[in-house]
Amino acid sequence: MFDAVVRGGTLVTHGLPRADVAIEDGKIVAIGPDLAGAEEEIDARGLHVFPGLIDVHLHFNEPGRTDWEGAATGSRALAAGGGTLFFDMPLNSTPCTVNADAFDRKHAALAEASVTDFALWGGLIPGNVSEMAELADRGVVGFKAFLCDSGLPEFPRADDLTLFEGLREAARLGLPVAVHAESQEITQGLGRRTVPGERSSVRAFLASRPVLAELEAIQRATFLAGEAGAKLHIVHVSSGRGVALAAEARAQGVDVSIETCPHYLFFTEDDVERLGAIAKCAPPLRNGGEQDSLWSQLLKGGVDIVASDHSPAPPDMKSGDFAQAWGGIAGVQSTLSVMLDRGHHHRQLSLERISSLIAAEPARRFRIPTKGSVALGMDADFALVDVSRSTQLEPGQLKQRYALSPYLGCTFRGCIERTIRRGKTIFMSGDIIARGGGNFVRPARG
Ligand SMILES: [Zn+2]
């Protein structure tokens, strides 16, 4: 007798077969029609069985800034969006994850609080290249660097030499470096030029962070990664030209992966004017033409991974003067909904491709061999989805700490009905039904 069987769902794997999936000890042990009975019968008829979403980029800010979010609330929101594993960025926790001691503190806090499984990014900042080996021993998935100001003085940007030496060390350790690719010189120079009267205008902010700043930084980072022989992951690429530029580097042999975020695929700069600071992020939202070109790059295979870059802040930091407001979009719960609605229903993006962008490729790129697909021997992590049902996102549905999301009020076709983490249902019928239980996940050596 199996522990559980997910019965009669359509598996989002090649060919979309209808099948039962049997679970024992949190693993998938059988897939096929009419499997034998189980202690727990999970009815998935009429639903699609996606692998659990893996969010490779978010900020739960624990320890130290749990008044901004925290792993308990953040992971519940992730689970409500079909997520079963996240990679927490080295900031905006206190301390930032830039050495082994900071890693241990975050690991302990997340192991206590998270309802989903979790992995940790280490940070790459000036002066900490010598700490990277110990962070790798602890099990980080890679190292994150900023090419422009991060917004936190305790996480300074990587100058070119720091980036290059960090890339070389990461290559030696067999781990990728993730970069926030915007040029410091261009963004800072343009930012200084805004005249005082315009300072709080949305357009002045957008104009200070043009696509050019992203392209210049991608060019430099891919060049340095190629010279260092390192794996590079470019986070939150906001423009089609950014994707194309990184793809050119890949064609020349640089080992680079490309991430974008749902908000670049869903909102435009007009929405920043309409919504205000809640839609402020960096790189900023782009105009409709840039968004179309990002979609077209994604549809032709140029984007590897879609991640939320959930970066929440308390309400008082997301209101008032736009120039002073925290930059970050709190959308962890909406990634799969956006991809189903805007990708599948509006642009015929296949469900298999969505599954690749949110699960298979994150697991492959960051070497988590037990996750990312619905297959024998894998962890039984699933999102059960009604692909046709439409829902409107209401504040009461948001599980994150503050009901602040630019997606509030938006209607999505494609609804996450249930989330299962290692065989245990953690989200169902709109409610989180587990406390804690998340495991730390480390990359395989390779
Ligand atoms: Zn981020």
The pLDDT tens digits for 28-77 are 999 999 999 999 999 999 999 999 999 999 999 999 999 899 999 999 99
Q: Rounded to the nearest whole angstrom, what is the distance from the C-alpha of residue 311 to the centroid of ligand 1?
A: 6
> Which amino acid is present at 173?
L
Q: Rounded to the nearest whole angstrom, what is the distance from the C-alpha of residue 258 to the centroid of ligand 1?
A: 14
The gap from C-alpha 4 to its chain's centroid, in whole angstroms, comes to 29
The gap from C-alpha 51 to its chain's centroid, in whole angstroms, comes to 15
Q: Taking residues 253-281, what's their average pLDDT?
A: 96
Q: Rounded to the nearest whole angstrom, what is the distance from the C-alpha of residue 33 to the centroid of ligand 1?
A: 42
Q: Rounded to the nearest whole angstrom, what is the distance from the C-alpha of residue 261 to the centroid of ligand 1?
A: 10
Q: Rounded to the nearest whole angstrom, what is the distance from the C-alpha of residue 279 to the centroid of ligand 1?
A: 14
| pLDDT beyond 70 at 199 | no
360-376, pLDDT tens digit by residue?
A: 999 999 999 999 999 99
Q: How far apart are the first and last CA of the chain?
A: 36
Q: Rounded to the nearest whole angstrom, what is the distance from the C-alpha of residue 281 to the centroid of ligand 1?
A: 9
Q: Taking residues 156-178, what's their average pLDDT?
A: 98
- Distance (Å, whole) CA 81 – CA 359: 13
Backbone torsions φ then ψ of 243, nearest 5 degrees = -65, -45
Q: Which spans in 41-152 are helix H? A: 71-80, 100-113, 132-138
Secondary structure E strands in 225-265: 231-234, 255-260
pLDDT at residue 318, as a whole number: 86
Tell me if 393 sits within 8 A of 405, measured CB to CB: yes
Residue 324, burial from CB neighbour count under 10 angstroms (0-12, 13-18, 19+): exposed
Q: Rounded to the nearest whole angstrom, what is the distance from the C-alpha of residue 28 to the centroid of ligand 1?
A: 32
pLDDT at residue 321, as a whole number: 83
Q: Rounded to the nearest whole angstrom, what is the distance from the C-alpha of residue 14 to the centroid of ligand 1?
A: 32
Range with the largest mean pLDDT of 179-183, 193-197, 401-405: 179-183
Residue reference for tokens 């594993």: 85
The two three-digit tokens of residue 418, written as one number: 């249930």
316-350, pLDDT tens digit by residue?
A: 888 878 888 889 999 999 999 999 999 999 999 99
pLDDT at residue 277, as a whole number: 93
Q: Rounded to the nearest whole angstrom, what is the distance from the C-alpha of residue 322 to the centroid of ligand 1?
A: 19
- Distance (Å, whole) CA 40 – CA 236: 40
DSSP label at 275? H
| pLDDT beyond 90 at 198 | no
- Distance (Å, whole) CA 30 – CA 23: 7
Q: Taking residues 292-303, what's their average pLDDT?
A: 98
| pLDDT beyond 90 at 446 | no
